[in-house]
Structure 1
């Protein structure tokens, strides 16, 4: 068992070194080694998670081609420029709700340049709003009604008496409040921008420029695509609520929640193509589509690898970890924290570890409260949105230290996740 665990960790490490989609490749290679050389039965592939990611990303990519994403960015810029002095608190609000709406943290890419520019204009150290904005875009995945992690986790909890709606009622307020706590901490991180020696040096060399706001004409198709996508999300939430055991208005649904999400998202994409007059060939070349398909492969490889190992040794894991987690339930949050740091995906971490945690007797409340800990993608400074924030800050304030882990995302990120877990136990105790 220990040797097989070493194999799992080795291939996760190899995948992390490869970067991006490479962790999916390495996960598949790990499955080959475990099954062919150790005689372990292959685990379950999280098909629904992968297909939900694919269908949601298809709708988002269609919205991007229609210009809907550009319109959302303009709305975000207007919001931030109206409240520039509070940029450290308003930036995470923008990235949080964009991720909540879209089900993917990659929406932050489009708002990070705006956050950096508004901060510079106000003399605010850009690392403060940028760091918590990236964190908010990651943790909001565990509150998004259409994210693969939430949908999969809700499916695990329903047999235990916790509905999809109950999960959202806990996760949305706790993660949002936690982001505000993280923003409060981030607001005191680092010296003031004018006192930063690297900023002063770059300013003297003429390497820092202020860019003017560029508002482009928003087409009716762009607005329509956003409205279609918003309606699709509302339909998903309403339908999932109606068929849940706690509401039970639809007792024998002809399509379950997961399949309904796929169908509704594909329908939304079709509506955008028809009514916004889109070229379908452009959808598959959109940046969001490429990143989403990459996420599918990552989840396929690494979640499959994790389930292969866990399924083969579930009894041993129960014996070793069951009593420990029941005695110290907060240990689950720490386990998820470090696992997501390596797996680089909320969906992959959830599918790899949550079934095992519930199988060994972890209380549903503990699992729900600890859920936000699958968002520790900021620990290793190699995640795409984190790197984008570093690159977009030409003041040099958002920089990775020479000790790798001493970067501006670490403390706000740990505080945000810890706060969310604590609030999760409080809210969960009242709601669940």
Structure 2
């Protein structure tokens, strides 16, 4: 391997490692550090900065932050928790479905983190290895990013595919059913062909005997929701639907709106800022 390429890989993985260690916004910070090291340090020519994608991410995060402060994310998590607790026997299917649709709605897989304790508790209560629904749920929450109408990944991919005749609505029409079906097939395989019986796991039973883990005590979250929680979710939901409808209306395949004054990417940014304004 060329020594110069090896140095590039070292810088790349060092930036990723540092970003993961810092966590949160630190991932973005470390990315900038990596670009500086690769360009000014190793003399590589930088590509074009994807401003549209960056601004879309910022506007979506802004709207989600407003909804979170209004209690909207707590409301969504509470609904998801109720679904899991009412149907515990189907945790292997419902857990990935819940995290999938949370990501579809919010455009980020981070919403799935709040579901992890609930999934573990419900799975243990049904004598199911938590690793089974957890592994599927985490994957589902990330796969859903490629099918969310407001995710930067979908926006970027639609930009790549539009010259080849695949519009934004067509991309969503393909990605949403296929990714969800893939998650459900995986859940079926894990349920039918993997030993999910927690009581037969010798490591868990040994830890239970030694008191290193405690038996499950079923409990719910009684934390009261803010009065603005439901309304913020509805505002966000209507805004996402408006984005999809507008993007469909201006697409080349539909062309209901001509001439197009506000392009799709600019519309997503503007709509998201409007959503944040209304929620605030």
Query: Could you state the TM-score of these two structures normalised by the residue count of structure 1?
Result: 0.60
**Of 234, 240, 244, which residue of structure 1 is paired with 2:247?**
240
**Of 197, 205, 208, which residue of structure 1 is paired with 2:210?**
205
**CA-to-aligned-CA distance 1:376-418 (integer Å, 9 cap, x gap):** xxxxxxxxxxxxxxxxxxxxxxxxxxxxxxxxxxxxxxxxxxx
Greater CA deviation, 137-146 or 256-265? 256-265
Cα distance between partner residues in 2 of 1:30 and 1:133:
31
Corresponding residue for 1:82? 86
**Of 175, 182, 186, which residue of structure 2 is paired with 1:178?**
182
Cα distance between partner residues in 2 of 1:71 and 1:226:
8
Greater RCO structure (CA 8 Å; 6+ sep): 1
**Deviation for aligned residue 1:78:** 1.4
- 2:56 is aligned with 1:56: no
Greater CA deviation, 258-267 or 191-200? 191-200
| Contact 1:53–1:147 (8 Å) recurs in 2 | yes
Distance 1:82 1:2, change over 3 A: same
Distance 1:7 1:24, change over 3 A: farther
Corresponding residue for 2:135? 131
**Deviation for aligned residue 1:16:** 2.8
Distance 1:131 1:223, change over 3 A: same
Distance 1:136 1:191, change over 3 A: closer
**Deviation for aligned residue 1:63:** 1.0
Corresponding residue for 1:11? 11
Q: Aligned with 1:89: secondary structure?
A: helix
Distance 1:253 1:212, change over 3 A: same
Cα distance between partner residues in 2 of 1:26 and 1:67:
31
**Deviation for aligned residue 1:114:** 1.1
Cα distance between partner residues in 1 of 2:15 and 2:38:
16
Cα distance between partner residues in 1 of 2:3 and 2:178:
39
Query: Could you state the TM-score of these two structures normalised by the residue count of structure 2?
Result: 0.90
Q: Aligned with 2:127: secondary structure?
A: coil
Cα distance between partner residues in 2 of 1:117 and 1:197:
19
Cα distance between partner residues in 2 of 1:267 and 1:156:
27
**CA-to-aligned-CA distance 1:170-198 (integer Å, 9 cap, x gap):** 10011000001111222243452001122
**Deviation for aligned residue 1:22:** 5.4
Q: How does 1:414-425 map to 2 (within 5 A)?
A: none
Distance 1:161 1:210, change over 3 A: same
- 2:201 is aligned with 1:196: yes
Distance 1:217 1:30, change over 3 A: closer
Cα distance between partner residues in 2 of 1:272 and 1:234:
16
| Contact 1:141–1:150 (8 Å) recurs in 2 | yes
Corresponding residue for 1:260? 267
Q: Which runs of 5 or more structure 1 residues have no equivalent in the other structure?
A: 274-432
- 2:70 is aligned with 1:66: yes
Corresponding residue for 2:258? 251
- 2:125 is aligned with 1:121: yes
**Of 215, 226, 229, which residue of structure 1 is paired with 2:233?**
226
**Deviation for aligned residue 1:2:** 5.0
Cα distance between partner residues in 1 of 2:84 and 2:123:
10
| Contact 1:73–1:111 (8 Å) recurs in 2 | yes
Cα distance between partner residues in 2 of 1:22 and 1:2:
30
**Deviation for aligned residue 1:251:** 2.3
